[in-house]
Chain A
Amino acid sequence: MNAFTHMIFCNVADVSFGKEAFVFSLPYYLEGISFYFPVSIITTLCLLFMIASRRQYRSLFSIGIVSFLTLLSFLVFIPLSFDLTNSFKGKLTKNNNEKQVRLEADFFNKNNDGVYMLTKIEGLYTAYGLKEVNPENDNMIFEPFLHQSNNNSQDKNLFITDSVKMPQFLQVIIDATKSLLVYAKNLYNESYVSYLGFASLALGMFGLWGCACLSSWPLLSALFIFFGYTCVFSSYFVITQTSIIQPVLETLTELIGTVATKPFFAPVVVNVVIMLFMSVCGLIAYLLRRKKFAGEDL
């Protein structure tokens, strides 16, 4: 379903470039699968934690199942999805440049320079029309112009992009997720040991059990799990995609040697710390509740 959404998104983007679209596009669908498969696995794990947390700490069985699935996902499923993507590679490179850009007359369009209308089309890529001048100009709104483009034109129709504009926060999330997945895939292609740095996220996710114990109201526990999940991935993004912890790593290198410079070192340490922190918080909250309500499981 995610891959299908991705295909629609790519087709809308094509339309904004003036290309034909909205036929089933296998390259876009495969691209969607390669991107959304790991995302879907990880999101499903978060939902599983929430569902299991409804019974909270009462069911050790559910803890076991979800933990096992988490480990399995990070150690087997996600690497398998990377292998699958590598096999798609040939098909993905066959991109949609075959689609023809079509110039259309008598319709208003908008690009970064403003509104324009093509009034006469000559050939595939040349047209005459009117385009908006600088709004400060007090003596004119439009002036005649010659429009020239090609099939790789990056001249988007802003009327389309504005009407299907992605919310900014979603764009940020998707960009961050993409960069994380590319990073993880590169680690996996390098070696499985390097990939274990990414797989250490599973440790961070075990800490979500602590979040589940923070409150006796299941809905609030689910919210804590959601924020815990966000926290685990945000910290991984910060330590792998930014240079914020670089000074700390340099200090650690001086203290414990070159192991601190290994790509898996920082993620493993941070995820273990997150797991311990969340677990301790959850345990304290649980014990306090038990004490307050004289052993009743509230």
Chain B
Amino acid sequence: MKSMKTMSMGIAVYFVVYFLLAFAAVLIYSFLQPVPPEIIPSLVTNYKFNTAFFNFFVIFSGLQIASILVSYSWMFSKGFDGDVKIRHKTKMFAYLRNVLVVVVVCLMLSIVSNELIRPLLLNRQVSIIHASKDFNEFVDKSKEFLESGDLLEAEIYAKQANRIDPTAVNVHKLLSDIEMELSKTEANLDKIISVDDFKGVEFNIPVNELMDRARTAYQQESYFEAHYYGSLAIHAYEELNANDSEARIITADSWNKLQVADSSLGGLSESVYARKKAGYAAILSGNYLKAYYIFKGLLNENGTDPDVKRYLAIAEEKILNQYFFIDETYNLQPFESVRDIYFSIKRDDGGLIVVGIKGMSEIKEGANQIQYLRGVQIATYDSRRTLEENFFVPYAKMVTVNATDVEPQYAKIVEKSNKKLLPCLILNSVDRNSPNYTVKPTYYSSISLQDEAKSAFLLPIPFEDFLQITEAAQGADSMPLDSLAIFCSKAEKYGFKQEFFLQALCERLCQPFLFVIIALACAILAWKFRLNKKQLVHFWWLLLVPLFSVVSYFFLEIANYCMTMLTFALVYLVGYATFPIVIVSCLLIFVLFCFIFVSMKDD
């Protein structure tokens, strides 16, 4: 079987050389093609290389089919030159084995190309286009804000543009103009002290530890701290039904001491002390936002007071359940992973929630993934499909909530889910330094004013489903195969026609079978149209070989289109049974082609 080894080697060499030449041709073609006008100069080369790779992988299957056709039509004529004694049937079986090995290798490469490389390159292409569009938008907005004198906004947009393209001269000039304007007004700006150096907020402290801390603070005449830990201890004792008399004594005594506005306590001026006390009272009453701004102001004036740092950190930790800071959303738009997401949720009471999201960015915060959603609109309908509420918010922060922490009806929603988490949208955002600037949803319709005051919206779907919806928003074709398979059964729950996803799934699963059949048909053609045994390959033929790839590419496109139509029709007719029907049909054709191949005569 030396001839078979020579044949395999010849086929491999042909494939490698031909693919390299094809890539070079595609590279030249892609570089000669015009680039969309919105692509910024610094991303042009990146875009062209990405396009070249993408184009190459678009025609990859066509190249493989053409290579099988051409290489075998040459190699079949040389196959068993020396082994004249071998029976024809044995020869054909050996050829078939060789062809099947090559087809399987090609199939694996084709699957990797279609399922892995092409979606990656497509996402990259979309990211480059989005980044370019965002860059132009940020530069325009920055110029607008600079002209209108809103220097801070202008600086934010210019910095975002600079992050996308640090080499852009116009952005550097814009930043220096903003800096110059800012330096003129710098004297008016307050010095901002960060609270980042204090990370002392602790939760779930054991009750004994709370009592120890309260006692120690009381003895050190640190009455804010003594009252704070004493109150936490009372709360803990109430849950345990234990004796809390000592905690109550310390707390009451500390509170009485705090009522005396005595400058000897902590050595603060009377007005500062009063503000500190008001901030502390705000924490006790649950008005954490008010407390946050009071302590933030105190910290900016006197950055050394440990009480101020502690209660600022506590207030910040608490408000982050109801608000997020506006500056968290700066710089996010260029890095959005998905755009234009929309879905609906059917409620158990027959009502409907329709959700639209313009873009989503994912940020890693410790072990958790946080989603920031840009441009969120939510419309809810009752069971008679009357609009209940319809609101839009420029940014929302998504956090996950454990189903056990909310109303019991949510537990049912996540009963089949592993993580039992629900997505919750925090709708209100606040400025880190000023209480005068907050962003809240705009209501186009609502049931009551009380309803409009809510700070969060809990989506009644498992968090995993939300992530799958974001993948589906990019199109069924670009969804990972496993997500697509799972999402098929859920599509209708979220406002999508199941048939689209089922058809996309069937088409993608059947494509490898189609490829094998076409490749096998090409091997049959290669035998029928093989070269004469005495004939040598002419050099000028090599120049015409790319034409086979062109024809193969168009032929594959037509075959894929027919497959799409067929699966679409079958999905509408028989639903999930489409897949076995197509697979069985493909297998029958495969067996038939194998039979035809081994039956071919040496004419």
Q: Which residues of A contact B (CB under 8 A)?
A: 5, 8-9, 11-12, 15, 21-22, 54, 105-108, 115, 117, 119-120, 128, 130, 132, 135, 138-142, 144, 159-160, 163-164, 166-167, 169-170, 215-223, 226-227, 296, 298
Write the chain A residue with the least CB distance to B377.
A141
B489 within 8 A of A: no
> Does the CB pair A128–B385 fall under 8 Å?
yes
> Does the CB pair A5–B532 fall under 8 Å?
no
> Does the CB pair B565–A9 fall under 8 Å?
yes
- Docked complex Cα distance between A117 and B566 (Å): 27
6 tightest A-B contacts by CB? A141-B356, A120-B385, A219-B529, A218-B529, A141-B377, A219-B73
- How many Å from the CB of A233 to the closest CB on chain B? 16
A106 / chain B contacts, CB cutoff of 8 Å: 344, 346, 352, 495
> Does the CB pair A216–B532 fall under 8 Å?
yes
B476 / chain A contacts, CB cutoff of 8 Å: 163
- Docked complex Cα distance between A8 and B569 (Å): 7
> Does the CB pair B354–A119 fall under 8 Å?
yes
A22 / chain B contacts, CB cutoff of 8 Å: 569, 572-573
> Does the CB pair A217–B535 fall under 8 Å?
yes
> Does the CB pair B558–A167 fall under 8 Å?
yes
Q: Which residues of B contact A (CB under 8 A)?
A: 69-70, 73, 340, 342-344, 346, 352, 354, 356-358, 375, 377, 379, 381, 385, 387, 390, 392, 394, 442, 444, 476, 492, 495-497, 500, 503-504, 525-526, 528-532, 534-535, 537-538, 541, 544, 547-548, 551, 554, 557-558, 561-562, 564-566, 568-569, 572-573
From known contacts A106-B346, A167-B557, A216-B535, infer whether A142 and B377 are also in contact, taking CB-CB under 8 Å: yes
A163 / chain B contacts, CB cutoff of 8 Å: 476, 500, 503-504, 564, 568
> Does the CB pair A54–B528 fall under 8 Å?
yes
- How many Å from the CB of B326 to the closest CB on chain A? 15
Write the chain A residue with the least CB distance to B573.
A22
From known contacts A139-B442, A217-B541, infer whether A108 and B344 are also in contact, taking CB-CB under 8 Å: yes
Given A108, A223, A296, which contacts B342 in the complex, CB threshold below 8 Å? A108
> Does the CB pair B531–A217 fall under 8 Å?
yes
A107 / chain B contacts, CB cutoff of 8 Å: 492, 495-497
- Docked complex Cα distance between A112 and B569 (Å): 24
- How many Å from the CB of B259 to the closest CB on chain A? 48
Write the chain B residue with the least CB distance to A159.
B500
Given B354, B532, B557, B568, which contacts A298 in the complex, CB threshold below 8 Å? B532
A54 / chain B contacts, CB cutoff of 8 Å: 528-529
- Docked complex Cα distance between A144 and B558 (Å): 41
A217 / chain B contacts, CB cutoff of 8 Å: 73, 529, 531, 535, 537-538, 541
- Docked complex Cα distance between A267 and B71 (Å): 39
Other contacts beyond A9-B565, A141-B342, A141-B377: 5, CB < 8 A: A217-B535, A217-B537, A217-B538, A219-B530, A296-B534
